[in-house]
Amino acid sequence: MSDTFQLDGATVPFELGQTVIQAALAAGSYIPHLCYHPEFKPHGSCKLCTVKVNGRTVASCTMPAEAGLQVESDIEELNALRRTLVQMLFAEGNHFCPSCEKSGNCVLQALGYDLEVHTAGFRHLYPDRPVDASHPDILLDFNRCILCELCVRASSEMDGKNVFALSGRGITKHLIVNAESGKLVDTDIALTDKAMQVCPVGVILKKRVGFSQPIGERRYDKSPISAQALQDAPRNPETGGSCDACESVP
Amino acid sequence: MTKQTHRHADCLDPILGRYGHDASNLLQILRELQECVGYLPAVSITCLAEKLAIPRARIESVASFYSFLHLQAHGEYRVLFSDNITDRMLGSVELMQSMCRQLWVEPGKVSEDGLVSINTTSCTGMCDQGPALLVNGRAITRLTHQRVQEIAQLIRNRTPLADWPADFFRVEDNIRRSGLVLDNRLVPGEVLRAALSMSVRGSTGSPRTEIGTAVVEAIKQSGLRGRGGAGFPTGLKWEACRNAQGANHYVVCNADEGEPGTFKDRVLLTRQADLVFEGMTLCALAIGAKQGFVYLRGEYRYLLEPLQAVLQQRRDSNLLGRNILGQSGFDFDIAIHLGAGAYICGEESALIESLEGKRGVPRNRPPFPVTHGYMQQPTAVDNVETFCQAALAIHMGAENYKAIGTAKSSGSKLISVSGDCPRPGIYEYPFGVSVREILQDCGAVNTRAVQISGPSGVCVAEHEFDRRLGFEDLPTAGAFMVFDDSRDMFEVARNYVHFFAHESCGFCTPCRVGTSMLKQTMDKIAAGLGTQYDLSEVENLDHVLQTTSHCGLGRTACNPVLHTLKYFRPAYESRLKSLEFKPAFDLDGALARARQMTGRDDAGAHLKTEAT
């Protein structure tokens, strides 16, 4: 029998080594998240999954589950924080949903809808982030990067390639590729790489397949992300297997 | 390009040899490569990646994290003006403008002939003798218009740095009041000898285990707490580290003194290096470490050779190395790693990442460094001053040491005094000294406020000057910046907000974006476009940063604004054009440009006025 903790009044069982979000998602309780991905080691950078554990705010993706914890997640105070964090990510990059190939399949956009982010909240920073169209089959649109490092992690942990890395510091932090020219075409990326599938937003795109799904049939047109994330959840990082969110991307 | 290729080929192999072709020394390798080549050309990175067998993107990722490493050429002379508020109060902004004019270069850009670039950098730890700058990493203090003119001339003449007047590089210790630490005249090895003669009653362990336990117990009893600001009990830290399982244990001295306004570690490393190393060796004895590191901030590069000379003397005297002082199995040595311009590396887990040759991003905790530190091994990270105090506590005996200071803050504290006072410098007091006493000692008059413990600390106004330094009331890492009644506290806060935005590591969303948003808001208020709404937005931002940030930088980033808003609200409100809503842009101004472009001037091309 495994131990349990309390999440918003519900009892959540967990196994040793699981973090709060892993146990919660496995038990069918949704906690909003962005940089956390069931197939990778928790990262803890986006802070969307912030919860209150015994009254203290922590990122639930990196917080080890312990017996008897009192965890609060779906409360207005935390959802207000998450709303601000989503606003920050929108203001930091250049996100134009109507013209984005990933619209409807984008995790950031889906979270925005689900958390009811109705306003911009901040003045946009409008960073200058030129696209990289050097590769014949793959486009990189850095304007939409939210610095979750999923592609960095996928490329190094699963593809064994290190195609991506983060460069710079603070607000100037940005995604780079592993080539002296700085161009994707000079890396060893392949369309079959896991790194091609994990981008939650519209940075890493397969060329010539944009807007392939009509509005109404896209992933998050069907049901909100809070419902769909649970389908991907109960996967053990060790046993592998890919999640629906990755596969659904054209 | 060819010149660089030749240079990096000549430089790289000896450097890699010195660092054992070990990628965990990447930051040190990059720093030395840059010292040799001038910057880090793309071709050198590719070459280094091959030789270390790591992805080049990883090297670029690390190099780009540190302000003092450059992936592009930045001029033969790289001038960086220290941009702490204390430098600004001494006229650094005008001096920098003047140097830019004299050398025909814009701030932040490289001159067209590739000769020079001029920019600002975070506080260089010379606040008591500012304004200060770094030229190619070397500190120059006490800048005046005349000195700036002379520097411009030396640069124009391409005079090698080695031939510049030695007086430019003179760094004063400015010790104004000394005590326990600064007065000590211990002979190197004296504390270690005392420690080695300690024993525990009734212990059944081996002699070395016994001594280690005795040292930990004595430090616990002394009540010593960390001097880096957080004040964690040193004895408990050493005990936890000692008890942690691991193949190797490590001692790390945090000499990344980056908190603006702090410079006491610089003076300790200049005057009391032996005591620092003695404290580290004592810690090694206590926790069972064989290797120690000093993480020295890049701004103090000039201290590297003198410190290495002290280490060598200690090796020659058998105070480092194998079987220290004849104690069988007491092996310990110390290596110095230099930082490269990243304030966040003062955070202990970021410091460890940096020591391992990575980006200085704070780790997820738990686990903590005492169990999973350097190379995931048990590591005790302590501040420079803490090691000095630990050595003295063992020398004096726990009871005698505990008698100094206050109940919960034993021992003395070094205070770095700067700002509006005639006698800036280092003051050592027993804990419990009041703000007022320090102000009197440094000769400050008409003081409006004191910033205690730097931008991440607290701002104390006149009615609080009887508050006392110590963990019971005002904990401090040592910075004490004085502002008299001629100073604008809004500009003080704005300077600190810029500092945090510049130094955010960028790992977590709230700090990466939030510090920039805060900077934007403060700049908007400074430009006279602020509104009441902006002030309340600062409070909202503070809530998000405090509750969701990954580390202390984000959690304290709003403090300067909140504290000054609390006491000096008029300094903010006088800048608001209206306390009611005011748009951040000029709508009619934008329309005027549109009218000009379209040639329209009809009623529809003008804003509707109330009359219509």
- Tens digits of per-residue pLDDT, B206-264? 667 789 999 999 999 999 999 998 899 999 999 999 999 999 999 999 999 999 999 99
**Taking 50 as the threshold, does the pLDDT of residue B154 lie above it?**
yes
- Give the pTM: 0.93
| Mutation site, B1, B43, B50, B60, interface A, largest A CB count within 10 A | B60
Same domain assignment for residues B479 and B354: no
| Mutation site, A49, A58, A84, A172, interface B, largest B CB count within 10 A | A84
Q: What is the mean pLDDT of residues A73-91?
A: 97
The angle subtended at Cα B125 by Cα B123 and Cα B128, nearest 5°, is 110
Cβ-defined contact of B61 to A171 (cutoff 8 Å): no
**Cα–Cα distance, B23 to B20 (Å, whole number):** 9
Q: Is residue B38 part of a domain?
A: yes
**Taking 50 as the threshold, does the pLDDT of residue B574 lie above it?**
yes
Q: Is residue B433 part of a domain?
A: yes
**pLDDT category of residue B166 using cuts at 50, 70 and 90:** very high
- How far CA B4 is from CA of B36, B38, B45, B75, B116, in Å, comes to 10, 9, 12, 14, 18
Same domain assignment for residues B252 and B363: yes
H/E stretch holding B82 reads strand B77-82
Amino acid occupying residue B350: A
Q: Is A90 on the interface with B (CB under 8 A)?
A: no
Per-residue confidence (pLDDT) for residue B603, from 0 to 100: 87
**pLDDT category of residue B334 using cuts at 50, 70 and 90:** very high
Tell me the pLDDT tens digit for each residue of A104-122: 999 999 999 999 999 989 9
**Cα–Cα distance, A175 to B61 (Å, whole number):** 9
**Cα–Cα distance, B495 to B505 (Å, whole number):** 18
State the nearest Cα–Cα gap between B500 and chain A, in angstroms: 9
Same domain assignment for residues B349 and B447: no
**Taking 70 as the threshold, does the pLDDT of residue A241 lie above it?**
no
Q: How far apart are the first and last CA of chain B?
A: 67
Q: Is residue B558 part of a domain?
A: no
Same domain assignment for residues B478 and B439: yes
Three-state DSSP at B334 gives strand
Pairing between strand B250-255 and B379-383?
parallel
In 3D, which of B209, B195, B189, B143 has the Cα closest to residue B170? B143
Cβ-defined contact of A88 to B507 (cutoff 8 Å): no
SS (H, E, C) B252-274: EEEECCCCCCCCHHHHHHHHCHH
Per-residue confidence (pLDDT) for residue B41, from 0 to 100: 94
Classify the C-alpha dihedral A121-A123-A127-A131 as positive or negative. positive
The angle subtended at Cα B13 by Cα B10 and Cα B18, nearest 5°, is 125
Tell me the pLDDT tens digit for each residue of A137-192: 999 999 999 999 999 999 999 999 999 999 999 999 999 999 999 999 999 999 99
Residue of B nearest to A57 (CA): B547
Same domain assignment for residues B275 and B134: no
Q: How many beta-carbon pairs below 8 A join chains A and B?
A: 117
Tell me the pLDDT tens digit for each residue of B118-128: 999 999 999 99
E strand residue ranges, B200-322 = 250-255, 291-296
**Cα–Cα distance, B500 to B538 (Å, whole number):** 14
Tell me the pLDDT tens digit for each residue of B515-559: 999 999 999 999 988 888 888 888 899 999 999 999 999 999 999
Per-residue confidence (pLDDT) for residue B366, from 0 to 100: 86
Per-residue confidence (pLDDT) for residue B612, from 0 to 100: 41
Q: Which residues sit opposite B294 in a β-bridge?
A: B253, B336
Instruction: Kindly list the residues from chain B whose CB atom is less than 8 angstroms away from the CB atom of residue A115.
Output: none
- Which of B438, B464, B487 terminates a domain? The answer is B487
Q: Is residue B533 part of a domain?
A: no
Q: Is A75 on the interface with B (CB under 8 A)?
A: no
Mean pLDDT of chain B: 93
Same domain assignment for residues B233 and B142: no
Report yes or no: B447 and B439 within 8 Å, Cβ to Cβ.
yes
Number of domains in chain B: 4
Q: What does the DSSP 8-state code read for residue A157?
A: I
- Which of B454, B487, B520 terminates a domain? The answer is B487
**Cα–Cα distance, A221 to A6 (Å, whole number):** 32
Same domain assignment for residues B153 and B209: no
In the sheet that B138-140 helps form, which strands lie side by side, from edge to edge?
B116-121, B77-82, B133-135, B138-140
Cβ-defined contact of B61 to A167 (cutoff 8 Å): yes
Cβ-defined contact of B548 to A81 (cutoff 8 Å): yes
State the nearest Cα–Cα gap between A85 and chain B, in angstroms: 6
Which of B58, B517, B548 minimises the CB distance to A162?
Answer: B58
Q: Is residue B509 part of a domain?
A: no
The CATH code of the domain that includes B234 is 3.40.50.11540
**pLDDT category of residue B604 using cuts at 50, 70 and 90:** confident
Other residues' Cβ atoms within 10 Å of the Cβ of residue B326 = 8
**Cα–Cα distance, B562 to B341 (Å, whole number):** 27
Same domain assignment for residues B236 and B312: yes
Burial B331-351 (b: 16+ CB within 10 A, else e): ebbbebbbbbbbbbbbbbbbb
- CB-count burial class (<10 Å; 0-12, 13-18, 19+) for B578: exposed
Between residues 209 and 248 of chain A, which touch chain B (CB distance below 8 Å)? none
Tell me the pLDDT tens digit for each residue of B375-425: 999 999 999 999 999 999 999 999 999 999 999 999 999 999 999 999 999
Per-residue confidence (pLDDT) for residue B587, from 0 to 100: 83
Q: Is B534 on the interface with A (CB under 8 A)?
A: no
Other residues' Cβ atoms within 10 Å of the Cβ of residue B70 = 18
Helices B92-102, B145-156: axis angle to 10 degrees equals 30
Q: Is residue B536 part of a domain?
A: no
Per-residue confidence (pLDDT) for residue B580, from 0 to 100: 59
Same domain assignment for residues B163 and B187: no
Looking at per-residue confidence, does B575 or B434 come out higher?
B434
The CATH code of the domain that includes B438 is 3.10.20.600
Same domain assignment for residues B82 and B135: yes
The CATH code of the domain that includes B99 is 3.40.30.10
**pLDDT category of residue A237 using cuts at 50, 70 and 90:** very low
How many CA atoms are closer than 13 Å to the CA of A110, on its beta-carbon side?
A: 25
Instruction: Kindly list the residues from chain A whose CB atom is less than 8 angstroms away from the CB atom of residue B359.
Output: 166, 169
- Which of B151, B172, B193 terminates a domain? The answer is B172
Alpha helices, DSSP H, located in B317-423: 348-355, 384-396, 398-402
Q: What is the mean pLDDT of residues B433-448?
A: 98
State the nearest Cα–Cα gap between A147 and chain B, in angstroms: 8
Instruction: Kindly list the residues from chain B whose CB atom is less than 8 angstroms away from the CB atom of residue A62.
Output: 364
Q: Is residue B128 part of a domain?
A: yes
Same domain assignment for residues B420 and B374: no
Cβ-defined contact of B56 to A88 (cutoff 8 Å): no
Pairing between strand B138-140 and B133-135?
antiparallel
State the nearest Cα–Cα gap between A230 and chain B, in angstroms: 24
**Cα–Cα distance, A218 to B455 (Å, whole number):** 48
Which of A44, A57, A166 minimises the CB distance to B364?
Answer: A44
Other residues' Cβ atoms within 10 Å of the Cβ of residue B270 = 17
**Cα–Cα distance, B513 to B200 (Å, whole number):** 53
Q: Is residue B331 part of a domain?
A: yes
Structural domain including B445 reads 412-487
Q: How far apart are the first and last CA of chain A?
A: 41
Report yes or no: A85 and B510 within 8 Å, Cβ to Cβ.
yes
Which of A59, A89, A178 minimises the CB distance to B57?
Answer: A178
State the nearest Cα–Cα gap between A34 and chain B, in angstroms: 11
Classify the C-alpha dihedral B363-B366-B367-B368 as positive or negative. positive
**pLDDT category of residue A239 using cuts at 50, 70 and 90:** very low
Q: Residue B284's Cα: distance from chain center in Å?
A: 25
Cβ-defined contact of A169 to B43 (cutoff 8 Å): no
Alpha helices, DSSP H, located in A60-159: 76-92, 107-114, 150-153
State the nearest Cα–Cα gap between A154 and chain B, in angstroms: 15
**Taking 50 as the threshold, does the pLDDT of residue B13 lie above it?**
yes
How many CA atoms are closer than 13 Å to the CA of A132, on its beta-carbon side?
A: 20
Three-state DSSP at B469 gives strand
Same domain assignment for residues B391 and B286: yes
Q: Is A169 on the interface with B (CB under 8 A)?
A: yes
Q: Is A165 on the interface with B (CB under 8 A)?
A: yes
